[in-house]
Amino acid sequence: MRIVLLGAPGSGKGTQAKKLMAEKNIPQISTGDMLRAAVAAGSRFGVQAKKIMDAGNLVSDDIMLGIISERLSEPDTEDGFILDGFPRTEQQALDLSDLLDEMGKPLDCAVLMDVDFEILIKRLTGRRTCSLTGKLLNVYFSSQAELDACTDAGGELVQREDDNEEVIKNRLEVYRTQTEPVVSYYRKRGKLETVDADGTIDEVYGRFTRVLGIA
């Protein structure tokens, strides 16, 4: 299975991709995670990428194509992959199409995780990661017991640097202007499936696997 996951920041793409990866044993390829790893490694590229990411802007299409072509040439992608966060511009969608054509591995479909704007804002401003376990939590949606489990064990609820309100506004604007055309790109080619992504993780996962025909 070769799929692209689309959706605004906070739409739950990453969460759903991780669940599918665990169930189907195909890699989730998150360009955001790959860029954060480069930032953490402190390379020169990482330092440049951090500035762009902290402002909520996009890393250039050329750099992203290099990163993704290298990743897709790794053997664990033989039986499929879930692209999470790529493509994010129409140019990236065109580049991906050329790359996959060359590899003889066309996409099965693109799946749009569709959520209302108000919910996105709460998901993003409330999002935290437990510093001990890496578990994703949300101060609006997680239970008090889940939040306490992290802090009682001595962990901290860490907020991503690009999850503050100012940057979130820009990320949503960048999504509207640069990434929504990618949704149209796949729709025009008859490759788009849409999932109502408002609901619990399991409810959304049920809808997601139904559109993929694997429920």
What are the residues binding ligand AMP (CB under 6 A)?
9, 31-32, 35, 52-53, 56-59, 64, 85-86, 88, 92, 162, 171
Task: Confirm whether 127 is a catalytic residue.
Answer: yes
| Exposure letters 75-112 (e unless 16+ CB within 10 A, then b) | eebeeebbbbbbbbbbbbbebbbeeeeeeeeebebbbb
- Three-class secondary structure of residue 133 per DSSP: coil
Task: Confirm whether 88 is a catalytic residue.
Answer: yes
Task: Confirm whether 160 is a catalytic residue.
Answer: yes
Annotated catalytic residue, options 2, 127, 128, 207: 127
Q: Which is nearer to ligand AMP, 90 or 149 (CB)?
A: 90
What letter would DSSP give residue 190?
Answer: T
- In sequence order, the 6+-apart residues with CB closer than 8 A to the CB of 70 are none
What distance in Å separates the CA atoms of residue 35 and residue 80, rounded to the nearest whole number? 21
Task: Confirm whether 210 is a catalytic residue.
Answer: no
- Tell me how far, at minimum, the Cβ of 140 lies from ligand AMP, in Å: 19
Annotated catalytic residue, options 2, 13, 123, 128: 13
Q: Which is nearer to ligand AMP, 84 or 193 (CB)?
A: 84
Task: Confirm whether 36 is a catalytic residue.
Answer: no
Q: Which is nearer to ligand AMP, 35 or 137 (CB)?
A: 35
Q: Which is nearer to ligand AMP, 9 or 27 (CB)?
A: 9
CA 93 to chain centre: 15
Active-site positions? Answer: 13, 88, 127, 160, 171
